[in-house]
Amino acid sequence: MSTIKVDTITTRTGSGNITLSNSLASATIAGTLGVTGAITGTTQTLNRSGNGVAQTIQSSGTTIGTITISDGDNLSITGQTGNTGGIFMNDAAVSPAYQGAERDNHYDLGKAPARWKDLYLSGGLKVGGTGAANTLDDYEEGVFDPTIEGESPCTITHSARAGYYTKVGRLVNVQISLTVGSVSNASSGRAISFGGLPFTTNNQQNVAGALRLQSLGASLEGMQVIAFNNSTGGRIEEFNGSGGTNASDHVQSGTTFDISLTYSTA
């Protein structure tokens, strides 16, 4: 037997409906409770025994959404008409859902022109699949200080330098500009080295890059730039048609090297 205690009963219809003008301390209701005013107070508790729909949301008598409990502590807030989606919350994830269950590969996160702002991730971004090969786990961009030097006893200093990088996953692209300040003890037997790459190259093979030169001290057939494997540097070499040779004798104060290099990390 259920008991309802109220201060004032304004209306009671023959069907058993009750309209209250004052507050109701507590009630157990087997049917439907209709509220036309505001539900106020510090907290409101919906207590369902077992799994299933804990709260139904209607518009003009038609159910448009539900709050559902499953497996004891999983919660979903979803639509019930058309393809209106929602969210499913469990111990491991917050997932897209429909009619109280998870729904795969159906809803977008945001849309034009209603976009989310920033996305903060501590793990990886799965793109086009769920395996390791589909996981983007790093993106970074910044600046670094490249170096240039000659093979001893040759000494090469810089008067200006700049380095910029973008890292996407394991792939690194760098843009380097080095202007020579001074050169001493240069010869065709002494190499030109550069260093300071922001990430160590992989240990598989050397990597060639693109090179632009200005203000060389002597003419030559061509030059090439190579980053060594498992390293943060490489060499700038003269290319004679069959291979690379040392070329510090072609460098003078004011010589500028502009390098573009793409490599993968370990």
pLDDT for 150: 93
* Region 147-156 average pLDDT: 94
For the stretch 68-121, pLDDT in tens is 999 889 999 998 888 888 999 999 999 999 888 899 989 998 999 999 999 998
pLDDT for 194: 97
Residue 132: pLDDT over 60: yes
How would you classify the pairing of strands 125-126 and 135-136?
antiparallel
Which of 258, 198, 208 has its CA nearest to residue 228? Answer: 208
Q: Give CA 175 to chain center in angstroms.
A: 23
Residue 1: pLDDT over 70: no
Which of 166, 158, 172 has its CA nearest to residue 236? Answer: 158
* C-alpha atoms less than 13 angstroms from C-alpha of 106 in its C-beta half-sphere: 13
For the stretch 201-226, pLDDT in tens is 999 999 999 999 999 888 777 889 99
DSSP assignment, residue 122?
S
Helices (H), the chain: none
Which two tokens mark 87?
A: 């969210």
Domain coordinates of the chain in residue numbers? 9-120, 141-264
pLDDT for 5: 52
- Number of neighbouring beta carbons within 10 Å of residue 207: 18
- Number of neighbouring beta carbons within 10 Å of residue 253: 14
E strand or H helix at 66, and its extent? strand 62-70
Which residue type, as a one-letter code, is found at position 5?
K
Q: Which residue carries 């393809």 as its tokens?
A: 83
User: Can you list the positions of beta strands (E) in the chain?
Assistant: 9-12, 18-20, 52-59, 62-70, 74-79, 86-89, 94-98, 101-102, 125-126, 135-136, 139-144, 147-150, 155-168, 171-184, 192-195, 207-214, 223-227, 234-239, 244-245, 256-264
CB-based contacts of 132, cutoff 8 Å, min separation 6? none
Q: How buried is residue 183: exposed, middle or buried, by Cβ count under 10 Å (0-12/13-18/19+)?
A: buried
Supply the pTM of this predicted model: 0.74
* Region 30-51 average pLDDT: 75
Q: Who has greater pLDDT, 223 or 260?
A: 260
Separation of alpha carbons 56 and 65, rounded Å: 6
Which two tokens mark 234?
A: 């490489």
Q: Does domain 141-264 have CATH number 2.60.90?
A: yes
